[in-house]
Amino acid sequence: MQFDLIKGNAVIGQSGGPTAVINQSLVGVVNALRGADAITGILGARNGVRGMIEERFVDLAAVSPETLERVAITPSAALGSSRDKPDKAYCEQIFEVFERNNVRYFFYIGGNDSSDTCRIINELSDDVGYELRCFHIPKTIDNDLVCNDHTPGYPSAARFVAKAFMGDNLDNASLPGIKIDIVMGRHAGFLTAAAALARQHEGDGPHLIYCPERAFDPTKFVADIDRMYTEHGRCLVAVSEGIANAEGESIAAMMASSAEKDAHGNVQLSGSGALGDFLANLVKIELTPKGGNPPRVRADTFGYLQRCFPDASDVDQAEARAAGAKAAEVAMSGDKDGSIAIERVSSEPYKSEMKLIKLTDVAAKTKHMPEEFISECGTDVTDAFIEYAKPLVGELPMVAML
Amino acid sequence: MQFDLIKGNAVIGQSGGPTAVINQSLVGVVNALRGADAITGILGARNGVRGMIEERFVDLAAVSPETLERVAITPSAALGSSRDKPDKAYCEQIFEVFERNNVRYFFYIGGNDSSDTCRIINELSDDVGYELRCFHIPKTIDNDLVCNDHTPGYPSAARFVAKAFMGDNLDNASLPGIKIDIVMGRHAGFLTAAAALARQHEGDGPHLIYCPERAFDPTKFVADIDRMYTEHGRCLVAVSEGIANAEGESIAAMMASSAEKDAHGNVQLSGSGALGDFLANLVKIELTPKGGNPPRVRADTFGYLQRCFPDASDVDQAEARAAGAKAAEVAMSGDKDGSIAIERVSSEPYKSEMKLIKLTDVAAKTKHMPEEFISECGTDVTDAFIEYAKPLVGELPMVAML
């Protein structure tokens, strides 16, 4: 098929919370665009949309392949990221810059907020009749994008959570007590559920898993822990930072003394130990026998380590790269816009493919843990989840106790 | 030289906070005792001294070499650990058990509290004329044992801290703000100082490092951060959980709503985000311009992940094993008691040796960061520290930004 591509510059941006593999996607786009006839220049926007309106660009075509490969395996956003949520006026400023710089190809790597940003810019370009090809490349450790089997960034974060729980389970076994670990994930429990991958032997923790998909009841929480503590002589608990009560109110937000919100209206959940400390204190008070000593209760909040720890999953690295490359390839094949999604082709051996979906199919939507991943009791995951997550995180150490 | 060793059972125990390599020391002792004429049995005490008085022993001679090797590379204490601090009455109970079981060789793997336990038991055995050979094998991520270049457990914890700061520095660079990370270490700043190993490029964080060896002044803390934030447009800070004011009062203990103490009289510092949250809030309040928006300030408390994350340093694994083996060897060579210490023989290439020192030389003493490891400003480490710590943690990933 013959087609003509408009000649112009490409702009690539990275958005939202960084991940261990977002730079793989960046390098995937750059390498696939290199040498394409339609591409007159490859510009990296500093700090996402913010760098676009401020015209802060990096000439990515000038970066050596060696440096790019080093960047690819580096966690976090090498171009810098942004939490700005562009409104129409903001987008108009971006167009001014794009027009002035003859930008015709726009690749935005980010989560569901970012795919919506991409959608708005795309629609605005249609409205004003400016030929701009917009592609969203998925990224989020929360794994909450619809139409994706999973998202780049999730496998590496899940790997960290699994290894952290593996170590913490061993720690808890050697000095028994009640241990509560708070895991990232604002709306979806996928990352918290990954704690279950730590289990290798009978009785291993986590013994309880609380995802935001189930209403959180403090009274039941204490009773659950009491039961497991009695059964195992210890209790390791995974709790999502996003847990909310039956009314949908976030427990962490209720706890936080100052409910700081970002431009997307999201309350700050991470970067604070408040939720963990609140839950540990609650358990300590409720489970202290009359006139007796309180049980040993501790809480850790894994925090930002989950998204940038330098130990990415191999599958994640390869898929993030492939997602970036796919976006560039469809753009160079004449597609006008869309979002790249990961489709699982087979589980054993694990194999995935990249497909192009509509921006409107993914933008601003949130995927939750499917029902079949959460066990009936509501405080554990199913075998179906383990089968889903296991091939993503890569090999985990095998451990043994006496 | 001819000598006669009394025939009897050996007891091995693990004590205090677990580490990523304490099981290497356990396996080092077991393997070196196997087949020795004087050893009639090798017993592992469950949960340290607690298992000794309760006569809960594991027959370690019966464990297969394959399982032992799997145990060796498993973080945490495979026998279980204990925080009990035996007094004289407690020790007498231990002797009763030892006599009844003809225990003649006692190996205790632990920190400075545990070396003191070992010393007390040793002296009591002299007092009552019971022939018991007592050996302490060093272990602590705090690295605060005197007479040791460093202690088994520290290199792996330092490796985790270095990698965590590497990831967090990249995260902080891509979404600039003020980030405070709380690192373990009750009295000594060695582990907090390891954050400096994360730096690879000009401007990399941590930009400030607060060790317990320097009095902590909240006003100066805020001013330091303000200065670095202005200079770098961001600021990554490493703070020891053990920081104390000029009067020696622990800041974390002052913050903790309930100052829970263990049997050693130590206040609980870890397993709570209170210190990090307090410092983040302080910085946010103090650095918010009049009528302006607060800066982005976050805090993470690394918590228990630091001691059991399954990614031990190779040097640490080998040394922990060698320390256990050395203790068994000196016991089988006729030495009566003592503690094993690591001596650095050369730095390039790195090489260490195990030596036998007196129990009284190490027991209940605390090593602090030497003056030459802390920079003049008091908020950074020197090149001498980097040279000291670098060979211990093993290879770290090389990263690159654009």
For residue B181, the model assigns a pLDDT of 98
Q: For the segment B220-273, what is each residue's pLDDT rounded down to a tens digit?
A: 999 999 999 999 999 999 999 999 999 999 998 777 644 455 555 555 556 678
For residue A260, the model assigns a pLDDT of 54
Cβ-Cβ contacts under 8 Å for A283 (sequence gap 6 or more): A178, A180, A221, A222, A225, A295, A297
Cα angle B386, B387, B388 (rounded to 5 degrees) comes to 90
Rounded to whole angstroms, the Cα distance separating A336 from A123 reads: 12
Strand order in the sheet with B103-110: B57-59, B39-45, B8-14, B103-110, B133-138, B337-347, B350-357
Nearest to B168, CA basis, from A186, A153, A28, A17 = A17
Q: Is the pLDDT of residue A266 over 60?
A: no
Assign B373 a pLDDT band (cuts: 50, 70, 90). very high
Rounded to whole angstroms, the Cα distance separating B350 from B344 reads: 8
| Residue A399: inside a domain | no
Rounded to whole angstroms, the Cα distance separating B184 from A141 reads: 27
**B47, B149 in Cβ contact below 8 A?**
no
Q: For the segment B295-327, what is each residue's pLDDT rounded down to a tens digit?
A: 999 999 999 999 999 999 999 999 999 999 999
Rounded to whole angstroms, the Cα distance separating B285 from B226 reads: 12
Q: Do A161 and A291 fall into the same domain? A: yes
Assign A26 a pLDDT band (cuts: 50, 70, 90). very high
The DSSP H or E segment spanning A96 is helix A88-100
For residue B224, the one-letter residue type is: D
Q: Which residues of B168-201 are buried (b: 16+ CB within 10 A; e: fewer)?
A: bbbbbbbbbbbbbbbbbbbbbbbbbbbbbbbbee
Q: Do B130 and B190 fall into the same domain? A: no
**A19, A311 in Cβ contact below 8 A?**
no
Mean pLDDT value of segment A332-351: 96
Is B153 in the A-facing interface, judged by CB distances under 8 Å? no
Mean pLDDT value of segment A257-268: 53
Assign A256 a pLDDT band (cuts: 50, 70, 90). low
Instruction: Tell me the backbone φ, ψ of residue B270, rounded to 5 degrees.
Output: -90, 170
Which residues span the domain enclosing A300? Answer: 156-310+371-393
Q: Do B125 and B180 fall into the same domain? A: no
Return the minimum-mean-pLDDT range out of A55-59, A191-195, B128-132. B128-132
Peptide bond into A218 cis (omega under 30): no
Contacts of A197 in chain B (CB under 8 A): none
For residue B67, the model assigns a pLDDT of 96
Q: Do A146 and A164 fall into the same domain? A: no
Assign B1 a pLDDT band (cuts: 50, 70, 90). very low
**B288, B294 in Cβ contact below 8 A?**
yes
Q: Which of A358-367, B42-51, B112-121 has the highest mean pLDDT?
A: B42-51
Q: Do A241 and A350 fall into the same domain? A: no
Q: Is the pLDDT of residue A121 over 90?
A: no
Q: Is the pLDDT of residue B289 over 60?
A: yes
Q: Is the pLDDT of residue B110 over 90?
A: yes
The pTM (predicted TM-score) of the whole model is: 0.95
Catalytic residue among A84, A142, A204, A316: A142
Q: Do A51 and A128 fall into the same domain? A: yes
Active site residues of B: 142
Q: Do A27 and A117 fall into the same domain? A: yes
Contacts of B14 in chain A (CB under 8 A): 174
Assign B274 a pLDDT band (cuts: 50, 70, 90). confident
For residue B26, the model assigns a pLDDT of 98
Rounded to whole angstroms, the Cα distance separating B184 from B170 reads: 22
Q: Which residues of B211-222 are buried (b: 16+ CB within 10 A; e: fewer)?
A: bbbbebeeeebb
DSSP type of residue B186: S
| Residue A1: inside a domain | no
| Residue B398: inside a domain | no
Q: For the segment B173-184, what is each residue's pLDDT rounded down to a tens digit?
A: 999 999 999 999
**B343, B186 in Cβ contact below 8 A?**
no
Q: Is the pLDDT of residue A243 over 50?
A: yes
The tally of domains found in chain B comes to 2
Nearest to B47, CA basis, from B76, B75, B89, B8 = B76
- Considering only the beta carbons, identify the residue of A17, A73, A174 that sits closest to B77: A174
The DSSP H or E segment spanning B105 is strand B103-110
| Residue B281: inside a domain | yes
CATH number of the domain residue B105 falls in: 3.40.50.450
Q: Do A211 and A88 fall into the same domain? A: no
Q: Tell me the CA distances in angstroms from B381 to A309, A339, B146, B213, B239, one per residue in order.
A: 23, 47, 20, 12, 13
**B205, B199 in Cβ contact below 8 A?**
yes
| Residue A18: inside a domain | yes
């993470």: which residue's tokens?
A: B300
Q: Is the pLDDT of residue A259 over 80?
A: no
CA A212 to chain B, closest CA, distance in angstroms equals: 22
Mean pLDDT value of segment A129-155: 96
For residue B259, the model assigns a pLDDT of 46
Q: Do B107 and B122 fall into the same domain? A: yes
CATH number of the domain residue A225 falls in: 3.40.50.460
Mean pLDDT of chain A: 93
Contacts of A303 in chain B (CB under 8 A): 298, 300-301
Under the phi-then-psi rule, with left for phi > 0, alpha for psi from -120 to 50, and beta for the rest, what region is A334? left
Q: Do B219 and B332 fall into the same domain? A: no
- For testing the chain B interface, which of A300, A306, A393 should be mutated: the one with the most B CBs within 10 Å? A300
| Residue B57: inside a domain | yes
Return the minimum-mean-pLDDT range out of A70-74, A355-359, B362-366, B397-401. B362-366
Rounded to whole angstroms, the Cα distance separating A401 from A151 reads: 34
**DSSP states along A229-285:** HHHHSSEEEEEETT-B-TT--BHHHHH-SS--B-TTSPBP-SS--HHHHHHHHHHHH
Mean pLDDT of chain B: 93
Contacts of B179 in chain A (CB under 8 A): 271, 304
CA B128 to chain A, closest CA, distance in angstroms equals: 32
**B208, B180 in Cβ contact below 8 A?**
no
| Residue A14: inside a domain | yes
Rounded to whole angstroms, the Cα distance separating B309 from B159 reads: 10
**DSSP states along A132-184:** -EEEEEE--TT---TT-SS-TTHHHHHHHHHHHHHHHHHHHHHS-SEEEEEE-
Cβ contact, residue pair B175, A294, below 8 Å: no
Q: Do B43 and B75 fall into the same domain? A: yes
Mean pLDDT value of segment A279-308: 93
Q: Do B147 and B198 fall into the same domain? A: no
| Residue B161: inside a domain | yes
